[in-house]
Amino acid sequence: MLGKLSKKIGLTQTELKIFLFVITIFIVGLVYRAVSQNSEVSVYKNFDYSTQDAEFLNSDRDSVLNNIEKSDNKKVDYKQEVLDFNTQGFYKVKKKILPIEKSININSAEIEDLVKLPGIGPKTANNIVEYRKIIKEFKNIYDLLQVKGIGNSRLNKIKNYIFIE
């Protein structure tokens, strides 16, 4: 019977079974609601929430006013509070002092010199020195692109400070 019905409607048998199941559950829900509506719903319709709402609104307003009064009397050193959250100390952090333009020869510079360049840390400086040992010397500045850790953006940051001799 389901096979003939599914061919007429254009659904598979599984789709038809699911459709019939959903319709059955819907009808059962309507019947349950109609039966239970007479006893339970009347209790909730007659309840007055206005007193609870008024208490809630008054208590909320009072607590907000109390918090405003407390915060107005308090003088806070906000800079010190920010520093209290600092784990490394802002005053201990040293800014990198940039070298003079065209002051570092990349064919003879040591790691300490290369670290002074913007965006170059000890690891990248070590990579430059190691790569220089392999190729003997840099022919032009763009040979640095072959070093691990140096891309176009980093090369653009440092090319004003380096030269080749």
| Structural domains counted in the chain | 2
pLDDT of residue 33: 87
pLDDT of residue 146: 92
In a domain, 156, yes or no: yes
- What CATH number is associated with residue 157? 1.10.150.280
In a domain, 133, yes or no: yes
Domain hosting 19: range is: 1-39
pLDDT of residue 125: 93
> Pick from 39, 54, 69: which residue ends a domain?
39
- In whole angstroms, give the CA distance from residue 129 to residue 75: 55
pLDDT of residue 134: 92
pLDDT of residue 27: 96
In a domain, 83, yes or no: no
In a domain, 152, yes or no: yes
Q: Are 106 and 141 in contact (CB under 8 A)?
A: yes
What length is written for the chain? 165
Per-residue pLDDT of the chain (165 residues; tens, 9 = 90+): 777 877 888 888 888 889 999 999 999 999 988 887 765 545 556 677 788 878 777 776 666 666 655 555 666 676 777 766 766 655 665 666 778 888 899 999 999 989 989 889 999 999 999 999 999 889 988 989 999 989 999 999 898 999 888
In a domain, 93, yes or no: no
Q: Model-level pTM? A: 0.44
In a domain, 141, yes or no: yes
pLDDT of residue 69: 59
In a domain, 109, yes or no: yes
Separation in Å, CA 12 to CA 19, 49, 141: 11, 52, 71
In a domain, 19, yes or no: yes
pLDDT of residue 70: 58
DSSP for 69-120, please give it. HHHHT----HHHHHHHT-SS-GGGPPPPPPPPTT-EETTT--HHHHTTSTT-
